[in-house]
A = this chain, B = another copy of it.
């Protein structure tokens, strides 16, 4: 299989192989990335000059309809994506569902939001404000689409959801988009791009797709462009400090490392229903997508008095998991996506070894040439003295169990993550929940508080729901995406429009 870039309105092919994607199950090469001869400026200019005017001429309702059509096309081809995902990502059926159906579902959600925005080309925010004694003079805050390009640099772990979630928001906003997926997991994204282009739904220039390359895009960004990045903190930092990003005040959103946590509340005992929910959720989060979720639980906090019980319960649960080729019966989790990711996981566990001990390790499985890595439960007995465990994201089926002695100590420990995407707190104590929100809100993009009444009905520690913002402060990159219409703000400029009452009212009505 050869995978090309779709840029400047054409599938490009200069005949040069610039990279490979592998089968995670056996390490074999499953596809080649093919180069092209355009530079970043040419790619952006085409999108800016063709895609921009065409998308801005449409209303939100019309753009929502484009999303709906794309989602329909992708739904028809789900099986092909699942096949690619099973090989390239070593995914289970559930892993693929989260990625592919999760992505299509997010696109459908934004299609429905766009439909509600209706036949308009701008949004307004808040009420009309009176600024002077003249009641006829008013201000209204108006959001208009930026006139540049959205550049999306996506992570390897969600080739479908990562692309479709970001793309839904930028296209609905009316901003042409250049997608650069991760090379290691390009196949699913590439197959989707092929189907999107072949369907001929989008105006020329609205959608561009890079199969590798594109490192020079940043050099050509302007103040009207927006760069959304998901990946490592190192790359995020390099992009944020790029002279072009700085000099042009380019909009930049980053989602980077996150040492998420799950907390067994001080009110729970090992006999409580809440404890069972907690153990169930944590063990599930450790192996879904083999732990390759930016939202996965990395740190597990339990009251010191219940450390042994929690450890035993977790080990009992994890022992039921089986590593191997998800196509084989009885297998519950698959390999990591690449040799380098496997090595990074090995290195990560080694880095934690000075502060933790391995209290459980799953059995090996799968082809020796695949990128298999067994689940590991680590224990850190003195988390207050630890540093690495709060700062190291092992991107695999690995988490560290830690005891806390008091609420104050718990909050301090959780905050040592330095800013995270999510923490889930299991508690039936309403006042503890309010205290935890006030103590942990500023370091978390999302807090899931599970009590017994929603233990079966909640959406999960790791699932990103498009109605809620996704992103986290500090180490997690400082960005925010999705969150319903909030997500569109990144691709819109907010302008205070000061004018007469009639005009202001008309603007608000669209």
Contact = CB atoms under 8 A, between A and B. Distances in A.
Interface of A: 56, 121-122, 126, 129, 131-134, 136-137, 139, 141-142, 144-147, 222-224, 237, 240-241, 243, 246-249, 251, 254, 418-419, 430, 433-434, 437-438, 441-451, 453-454, 456-459, 465, 467-469, 473-478, 480, 483-484, 486, 492-500, 503, 506-507
Contacts of A477: 249
A242 to B, nearest CB: 9
A144 to B, nearest CB: 3
B137 A498 contact: no
Nearest to A143: B441
A496 B447 contact: yes
Contacts of A437: 122, 142, 144, 495, 497, 507
Contacts of A147: 442-443
A248 B240 CA distance: 11
The main secondary structure of chain A at its interface with chain B is mixed
Contacts of A474: 222-224, 248-249
A465 B478 CA distance: 29
Contacts of A486: 126, 141
Nearest to A463: B131
B141 A498 contact: no
B454 A141 contact: no
Contacts of A141: 468-469, 483, 486
Given A249-B474, A433-B503, A478-B251, A449 B497 contact: yes
B498 A441 contact: no
Contact of A419 (B145, B223, B465, B500): B223
A57 to B, nearest CB: 10
A438 B469 contact: no
18 contacts: A122-B438, A129-B465, A131-B458, A132-B458, A134-B457, A223-B419, A224-B473, A249-B254, A249-B475, A434-B507, A444-B495, A445-B496, A446-B497, A447-B496, A449-B498, A453-B500, A469-B496, A480-B494
Given A131-B465, A139-B468, A249-B419, 20 more contacts: A121-B438, A129-B465, A129-B467, A129-B468, A134-B457, A136-B457, A137-B457, A139-B465, A141-B469, A141-B486, A223-B419, A224-B473, A241-B243, A430-B503, A441-B493, A445-B494, A454-B500, A458-B498, A468-B498, A473-B493
